[in-house]
Structure 1
Amino acid sequence: MFLRIAAFGLLLAGVPAVAQTVKTEVGVAAGAEYRIDIPANWNHSLVVFYHGYALGPTRFHFYQKPGGATLPFLDRGYAVIQSGFSTWGWAIPQALSETETLRKQFVKDHGLPKETYVSGQSMGGALTMMTIERNPEPYNGALNMCGAVLPTNEWAQRRFALVAAFEYYFPGLLPDLAPAPVNFVESDALKAKLLAALKADPAKAAIMQRLTALYRDEDVAHLMQYVIYQISDFSRKSGGDPVDNANWIYTGTGSPEEDFRLNDGVKRFTADPKARAWMIRNYTATGKLTKPMLALHTVYDTLIPATSLAEYSERVSETGSVDLFTQQYVDHAGHCAFTNDEIGRAFDELVGWVHGGPKPKGGKLP
């Protein structure tokens, strides 16, 4: 059942090309809030947009103007739909089914779009990948932005191993890792404590920077808190501890001798098999593409390393889908730190490709 509130004449904020109005519709479907934006110059095509990993419920209000990464699509005349998902955190199963339900409802209410694209950021990038791999039929192409595209269990294992290393170098600052902390909440106080410890021991802080491939103590402190929250989230949803470092061999501390010390001294944890199986089910990339996909990443992403896209590209090559995938980058530091202009340019490249133009070149976004 769909409950709706519609508003007309909202000024589209932040659009440099032309001031225009947008029809906005919000509501609840199957326990998930949703938002639909249709610009006055609607070209009768659609962008299905997935938001990223959220630390709390995503709410939509009809009086809020469109914003963020959806503006470039609206500026180009595309309608945009997005589900808030019925749960927060790692919401892959809910997000896929609830967004597909919303897309079908949009078609029922507004007619079949001329073209439909899928896009998203961070976890939304993982959902973009999963959608175009598993349900490509409704879509013409995909724009993945800063996506967590490796299988969930792979990148979650890596992050857990880094937290265990932090606990080795800076003991007693983080919650116990096993069993996973229940209902952990990030706080400025804990981040300040982690940052102070890093600043007080530059040698160990430098090791953690090398292990995490991060350049600032502030980024290391933020990542540690963020990963603890994710571990708590995964544990609640899987019913156990889904990640471990039992078979992890640490390298990259800066010297072989330090690698030896870390591997000998770090505490080892073992995952629960059923919880691990839950994580594997909730997004394992296949790399099999049947529609064009353009991926966009910042060079320095503090949460999802750009190197993960290169690994996904290898999976695409193995399936023979290499002609349908291009990875581009922008020179920014930060997670999903794109400008609206950059998002728009990347989308234009994707649409041109779909319309028979040349495949966008890998490398820097033109």
Structure 2
Amino acid sequence: MRHWISSAALGAVFLCSAVARAEQPAAPAHAASAFAPTSAQAKLLVKAERAGAQDLSASAAPAGGMILKGTLEGRAFVLAIPATWRGEIMLFGQGYATPGSAPTVPMDLLAKDPGGGLFNHLYDEGVASGVAAFDKSGIATESGAKNTMRLRALAATLGGERFYAVGGSMGGSIVMALIDRYPTAFSGAVAMCGVTQGWRPLIQQLTDMRGAYDILTAGTPYALPGEKDLTRSALPVTPPAGDATPGDAFREAQKMRLLTPIFGLFLAAKANPAGPEARIIQQVAAIGGFTPDPAALGAPLSAAALGMDDIIATMGGLPIGNRARVYAPPEMTPDEAADFNRKMQRYDADAAAVAYARAWHETSGTFEIPLVTAHQTIDALVPFSQSEGLGRVVAEAGNSGRLAQYALEPTRVPLPEGLEGFTHCGFSPGQNIAAFEAMRDWVRSGKKPGADAVR
């Protein structure tokens, strides 16, 4: 299950994927008895089959509605269709999942609300919602956007008339791709804690942080395990031949191998705030552009160390380079800084990979519909600079009238060993709903929402 909300304690399963997240309270499960569709629902099933949907199955949803699951060209989808549906539908871009894991969709969008309360709110409002699976795990903006458009075509056949694009984290990148590449397909959009500026600046930050961490922890108990080449993943994400460990359990173990020394570093710094461990934390965080916090180091380092092979495979090469960059670690003498720069691995961007990353996706800023974004000012994985970068691009395009951005207070959760860390996408259900309703009111009224619409 991919969630983009993280407001509960992460606990011992911190970073159960490269995106930190926690379950929201589940809606009451509806009856599992045999589903008998109404005549209107039976007609929807016939329309879906005629439109090319396969492997169809339907189940009862609250108040006479229907959960519809199936595949489109082999890709799984799920729709929640209330009995009162009149043509409004929200299509949701899921977040990042660790490479190697199987792409999925939620089995029930209401019982396991992946929008932190938004799906149930929309259902109660008579708004349908849907999610399309990716073709692959890891970086999946391209397939996320294309598969969402397949689902949009099906939903239009079923009676969809007004479409909204919503997503968080990597789902924010999918939202940006949808509204840029398909400018008339949606009436409005929302990106929460999203990769809205683009993948290249974020990948550069993750890689810089990994390089700095490797240099500054070399020879200490806090060094990361595995490969040190920054252009490769540090650890594999699939079990080796002959290893019978289930894939998901193997990936969880690999994440904990990475997180254990990071947490150890923070525990040492907590015990001695003036010691060398605290200095390492400050310098690593500054190089990466993140907050010196166990979650805000653990999440990016885990993503970089487990995701680089997928990035290169997906984009056809390395989309970033640091050949000419001079790093300026804080609190270092000139000689120490020079030594740091000598040790930092140098690499060049591949032109084809840069082109791919721009296409999937760096916004042009010229989208034609209302877009609402919300981002916590401190986020453990997708930094607030992504929101700021989007704002600059849109302003340079002269399109700020179509963008409403909200900077929200960060949230923290307890972590193992008495530590505490910032969340990724740690919004409350009320904030998720407020962001959507601010966008929908804007679409309906033509009036841009005010500064306090999302708090």
Short-chain TM bin: 0.7 to 0.9
1:187 counterpart SS class: helix
Check if 1:105 corresponds to 2:183.
no
Mapped partners of 1:86, 1:353: distance in 2: 33
The Cα of 1:42 is off from its aligned counterpart by: 2.2
Check if 1:46 corresponds to 2:60.
no
Segment of structure 1 superposing worse, 355-364 or 146-155: 355-364
Residue pair 1:90, 1:233 contacting (<8 A) in 2 also? yes
Identify unmatched segments of 5+ residues in structure 2.
Answer: 1-51, 238-250, 269-276, 412-422
Mapped partners of 1:247, 1:72: distance in 2: 50
Residue pair 2:438, 2:454 contacting (<8 A) in 1 also? no
Aligned residue in 2 for 1:193:
261
Aligned residue in 2 for 1:309:
387
Picking from 194, 202, 216, the partner of 1:169 is: 216
Residue pair 1:199, 1:217 contacting (<8 A) in 2 also? no
Map 1:64-103 to 2 at 5 A. 65-69=111-115, 70-103=119-152
Aligned residue in 1 for 2:320:
243
The Cα of 1:214 is off from its aligned counterpart by: 1.6
1:291-327 CA deviation, whole Å, 9 max, x = no partner?
A: 1111011222111111221111111111111100010
1:104-156 CA deviation, whole Å, 9 max, x = no partner?
A: 01111x1242x211111111111111211221212111111111012222221
Picking from 351, 363, 368, the partner of 1:285 is: 363
Aligned pair count? 356
Residue pair 2:56, 2:68 contacting (<8 A) in 1 also? yes
Segment of structure 1 superposing worse, 213-222 or 307-316: 213-222
Aligned residue in 2 for 1:207:
283
Picking from 53, 58, 64, the partner of 2:103 is: 58
What is the identity, as a one-letter code, of the residue corresponding to 1:2? A
Relative to 1, partners in 2 of residues 1:170 and 1:75: Cα closer, same or farther, differing over 3 Å? Answer: farther
Relative to 1, partners in 2 of residues 1:298 and 1:61: Cα closer, same or farther, differing over 3 Å? Answer: closer
Aligned residue in 1 for 2:232:
180
Mapped partners of 1:270, 1:152: distance in 2: 16
Segment of structure 1 superposing worse, 41-50 or 257-266: 257-266
Mapped partners of 1:218, 1:298: distance in 2: 14
1:181-218 CA deviation, whole Å, 9 max, x = no partner?
A: 37444421221023224544222122223334223234
The Cα of 1:260 is off from its aligned counterpart by: 4.7
Q: Which structure: greater strand fraction? A: 1
Aligned residue in 2 for 1:360:
449
Relative to 1, partners in 2 of residues 1:177 and 1:198: Cα closer, same or farther, differing over 3 Å? Answer: farther
Alignment RMSD, CA only?
2.4
1:300 counterpart SS class: coil
1:355 counterpart SS class: helix
Q: Which structure has more RCO (C-alpha within 8 Å, separation ≥ 6)?
A: 2
TM-score between the two structures when normalised by the length of structure 2: 0.72
What is the identity, as a one-letter code, of the residue corresponding to 1:74? Y
Residue pair 1:72, 1:343 contacting (<8 A) in 2 also? no
Map 1:293-332 to 2 at 5 A. 293-332=371-410
Aligned residue in 1 for 2:425:
336
Aligned residue in 1 for 2:305:
228
Segment of structure 1 superposing worse, 157-166 or 319-328: 157-166
The percentage of aligned residue pairs carrying the same residue is 21
The Cα of 1:179 is off from its aligned counterpart by: 4.6
Residue pair 1:245, 1:269 contacting (<8 A) in 2 also? yes
Residue pair 2:77, 2:132 contacting (<8 A) in 1 also? yes
1:327 counterpart SS class: strand
Residue pair 1:5, 1:62 contacting (<8 A) in 2 also? no
1:328 counterpart SS class: strand
Mapped partners of 1:362, 1:163: distance in 2: 37
Identify unmatched segments of 5+ residues in structure 1.
Answer: 12-19
1:280 counterpart SS class: helix
Segment of structure 1 superposing worse, 245-254 or 139-148: 245-254
Mapped partners of 2:150, 2:395: distance in 1: 32
